[in-house]
């Protein structure tokens, strides 16, 4: 696991034993004072003082019972009530990308096919001018060769088992987060984690040629994976919450809070970086044929990672 798992933190909640110790000392002091007063009185008042002593103890006893019950209730809260908070989050509202959290990747992009598609990633296609993360992809075709210039950010930290959440609008031609636009062929939207040639990779992915089909895939190696899909109508025209919960035994995928798929095969274990990218294709299979002259945008309003309880 990674150093953000939350393991090894001290639990400083007060215990039932500590509550009893404090209150018992208070009781002894109170009763001691009452007895000293009683011995200084005449014999005829002893019984009255004993009675008064007992009455004086009642508030302490009630306090002991109340605090003991409260402490036990706190110690036995259900697990979900003690769920950890996110240890990594970004709402991309600062106007510029937080370079303490993210790399901007450049160079060769996925989807390259010699003499068919020349794909690259550009830092100029990453911006926060719309109040959130906006990634851009441009495509042009000349003499049968598509030139696709996309974009990608990658977290500087690695994260292991836990809950990953993105709120995103899949790629469309809209230049604003809530504007009119639609997906075009030749684009791939991807929010995922990744390390070392898919030693760990868990994807939420849309192809421009099938923009209402969400694909969910996990890899433990390049050749060992499990993949499922689910319909998400309007993914290119509105924002949705994409979440997966990754454990050693399974990965649960959620869309807008609804469980849509559970994977139990080829579950990876290596901590990995969080990535968000938009890249181009020019293929009749994955991604679709490039759309000449098209500019597409992917919007992400927030991302977070929370370790397992």
Task: Please check whether residue 161 is in contact with residue 246, taking contact to mean a CB–CB distance below 8 angstroms.
Answer: yes
**What average pLDDT does this structure show over 237-254?**
98
The pLDDT, as a whole number, for residue 186 is 98
The residue that leads in pLDDT, 101 or 30, is 101
| DSSP reduced 3-state for 264 | coil
pTM over 0.85: no
Task: Please check whether residue 166 is in contact with residue 177, taking contact to mean a CB–CB distance below 8 angstroms.
Answer: no
Of the listed ranges 20-29, 225-234, 278-287, the least confidently predicted one is 20-29
Distance CA 147, CA 141 (A): 6
pLDDT digits (tens, 9 = 90+) for 57-80: 565 555 545 545 544 455 455 544
pLDDT band at 84 (very low <50, low <70, confident <90, very high): confident
At residue 245's C-alpha, the angle toward residues 178 and 85, to 5°, is 80
The pLDDT, as a whole number, for residue 78 is 52
Q: Residue 102 gets which letter from DSSP?
A: E
Close Cβ partners of 11 (under 8 Å, ≥ 6 residues apart): none
pLDDT digits (tens, 9 = 90+) for 145-159: 999 999 999 999 999
Tell me what percent of the chain is helix, strand and coil, each rounded to the nearest 5. Answer: 20, 40, 40
pLDDT digits (tens, 9 = 90+) for 6-41: 333 223 333 334 433 433 444 344 444 444 444 444
Task: Please check whether residue 215 is in contact with residue 221, taking contact to mean a CB–CB distance below 8 angstroms.
Answer: no
The pLDDT, as a whole number, for residue 51 is 54
Distance from chain centroid for Cα 159: 10
């Amino acid at each position: 696991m990674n150093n953000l798992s939350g393991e090894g933190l001290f639990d400083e909640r007060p215990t039932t034993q500590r509550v009893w110790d404090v209150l018992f000392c208070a009781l002894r002091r109170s009763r001691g004072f009452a007895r000293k007063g009683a011995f200084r009185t005449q014999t005829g008042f002893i019984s009255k003082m004993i009675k008064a002593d007992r009455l004086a103890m009642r508030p302490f006893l009630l306090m002991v019972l109340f605090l003991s019950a409260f402490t036990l209730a706190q110690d036995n809260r259900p697990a979900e009530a003690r769920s950890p908070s996110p240890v990594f989050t970004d709402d991309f509202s600062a106007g510029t990308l937080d370079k303490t959290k993210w790399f901007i990747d450049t160079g060769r992009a996925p989807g390259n096919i010699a003499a068919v598609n020349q794909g690259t990633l550009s830092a100029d296609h990453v911006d926060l001018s719309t109040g959130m993360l906006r990634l851009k992809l441009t495509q042009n075709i000349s003499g049968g060769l598509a030139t696709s210039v996309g974009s990608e950010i990658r977290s500087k930290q690695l994260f292991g088992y836990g809950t990953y959440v993105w709120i995103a609008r899949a790629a469309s031609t809209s230049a604003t987060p809530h504007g009119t636009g639609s997906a075009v062929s030749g684009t791939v939207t991807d929010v995922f984690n990744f390390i070392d040639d898919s030693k760990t990779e868990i994807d939420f992915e849309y192809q421009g040629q099938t923009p209402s089909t969400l694909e969910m895939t996990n890899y433990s190696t390049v050749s060992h994976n499990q993949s499922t899909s689910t319909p998400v109508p309007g993914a290119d025209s509105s924002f949705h919450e994409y979440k997966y919960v990754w454990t050693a035994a399974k990965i649960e995928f959620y869309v807008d809070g609804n469980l849509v798929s559970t994977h139990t095969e080829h579950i990876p274990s290596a901590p990995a970086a969080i990535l968000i990218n938009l890249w181009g294709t020019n293929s009749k299979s994955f991604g679709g044929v490039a759309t000449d002259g098209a500019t597409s945008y992917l919007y992400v309003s927030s991302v977070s990672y929370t370790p397992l309880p």
